[in-house]
Amino acid sequence: MGQYRPMFNISLEHTYFGDGKFSGVTFIPTPESERLMLNNNMVTRRRDDGVTVFFDSNNLDSLQLYAKDEDDPLRINFECNSEYLNFQNFTASSIFQKNKTLFFDSASTDGSGFGKKYLHSEDFASSQDLVEFFNGPDDVAEDQVSIMNFSGGRTLLFNSEQTDSNPNGKTILGSSNSTSSENLQKNLVAARSHPRDKILPTIGLFSILITPSELEALHQDRTQSYNDYHVKFKARETYWKYYLVGDANQPSAVIKDIDGNIEFNDLGEELLSDGRRARILISKQALPLQDRAKQKFQLLVTRNGRTKIFVRRLAVASAKRINKQIVDGKELFVSEIYINF
């Protein structure tokens, strides 16, 4: 056993959290990647916001044989899950679609040197990073032109834009998509599927390609530089809708932003399901959700010609209470906040 050195790192970021780190995530290698790492004395070190993979410097020759195999190059694949059951609540909705998952591939990044690299082309993970699972011939749409065998029981479909931007590791479907798909289906049935493959990951799939030149550079570099891959998620933005109930329901009630940035519209009164009436005030713009919101809103009322503070600091939006509502003819994501005095 030789010296262990870092091969690569994966870290997740999220604007929902104050420190910018997306903690509480778990990276699980596919069964194939797990066997490969075990056979080559590679180890992983879990961190709260990601994972780091280390290699044994004495196993470099063996790893190079894998990396130089053009048909089956050295790839480490992971499934990523979050401990937050409401991950979809506080994350921008564009990355969630039925029968699709986020897929991040290091082959889409600049391979000219080591350093921090984002595994997506946009500022944040987006719908462009979504891929569809292949379950049968009927799954292949006209715009899907290639496939990738991610693990024994998971094959992914890619559209033309995704294929052209990063053809690495993908197999182009033939002129007869029907025939190609039938052959793929036979391979899937014959493959030894892992039970985990039938469950969608809560975050997505990651594939890290290690090239022969990268291995050589890792071995030669005495500064222990390596690729630090990142994925950044954007917090969901919602309109904050305050329900003023009880004594808080006053015609003169207004919400004041201490910082002077956010304004609210008065939508009048609304009858609640329990028979009470609530005055509705909603923000004029959507606000990003945060685990610890920094907004400081006050509820003001006017009595006898004088404006007074009725609530010095209002409750803020929570990722646990989000609904789609029609407001002024537009469908909006709304955070409901009840103020009862």
Whole-angstrom distance, CA of residue 220 vs CA of residue 226: 11
138-147 pLDDT, tens digit each: 777 778 889 9
Our measurement of the distance from residue 265's CA atom to the centroid of its chain's CA atoms, rounded to an integer in Å, reads: 32
Are 105 and 227 in contact by the 8 Å Cβ rule? The answer is: no
Q: Is the pLDDT of residue 291 over 90?
A: yes
**How would residue 177 be classed by pLDDT, with cut points 50, 70 and 90?**
very low
Residue 66 is predicted with a pLDDT of 92
**How would residue 298 be classed by pLDDT, with cut points 50, 70 and 90?**
very high
**How would residue 190 be classed by pLDDT, with cut points 50, 70 and 90?**
very low
Residue 71 is predicted with a pLDDT of 84
Amino acid letter for position 340: N
Neighbours of 51 (CB within 10 A): 22
Whole-angstrom distance, CA of residue 123 vs CA of residue 231: 9
Q: What is the mean pLDDT of the chain?
A: 89
Residue 192 is predicted with a pLDDT of 43
Choice among 49-58, 110-119, 264-273, 286-295 with the minimum mean pLDDT: 110-119
Q: What is the full DSSP assignment across 238-284?
A: EEEEEEEEGGG--TT-EEEETTS---EEEEEEEE-TTS-EEEEEEES
- Average confidence (pLDDT) over 35-44: 94
pTM of the model: 0.89
For the beta sheet containing 171-172, the strands, ordered from the edge strand earlier in sequence to the opposite edge, are: 25-29, 75-82, 204-209, 100-105, 130-133, 154-159, 144-151, 171-172
Whole-angstrom distance, CA of residue 219 vs CA of residue 217: 5
- Average confidence (pLDDT) over 80-98: 94
Whole-angstrom distance, CA of residue 200 vs CA of residue 57: 35
Backbone angles phi, psi at 200, to 5 degrees: -70, 135
Residue 222 is predicted with a pLDDT of 64
- Average confidence (pLDDT) over 142-166: 89
Q: Is the pLDDT of residue 284 over 80?
A: yes
Helical H segments across 111-229, by residue range = 160-165, 177-190, 212-220
Element at 81 (helix H, strand E): strand 75-82
**How would residue 58 be classed by pLDDT, with cut points 50, 70 and 90?**
confident
Residue 198 is predicted with a pLDDT of 55
Q: What share of the chain in percent tops pLDDT 90? A: 70
**How would residue 98 be classed by pLDDT, with cut points 50, 70 and 90?**
confident
Q: Is the dihedral of CA 222, 223, 227, 228 positive or negative?
A: positive
Residue 193 is predicted with a pLDDT of 53
Which of 40, 44, 73, 45 lies closest to 57 in space, CA to CA?
40
Residue 219 is predicted with a pLDDT of 79
Residues near 294 by beta carbon (within 8 Å), at least 6 away in sequence:
none
Residue 206 is predicted with a pLDDT of 98
SS3 20: coil
Amino acid letter for position 199: I
Record the tokens describing residue 32, joined without a space. Answer: 């194939």
- Domain residue spans in the chain? 4-233, 237-340
**How would residue 310 be classed by pLDDT, with cut points 50, 70 and 90?**
very high
Whole-angstrom distance, CA of residue 267 vs CA of residue 245: 14
Q: What is the CA radius of gyration of the chain?
A: 26
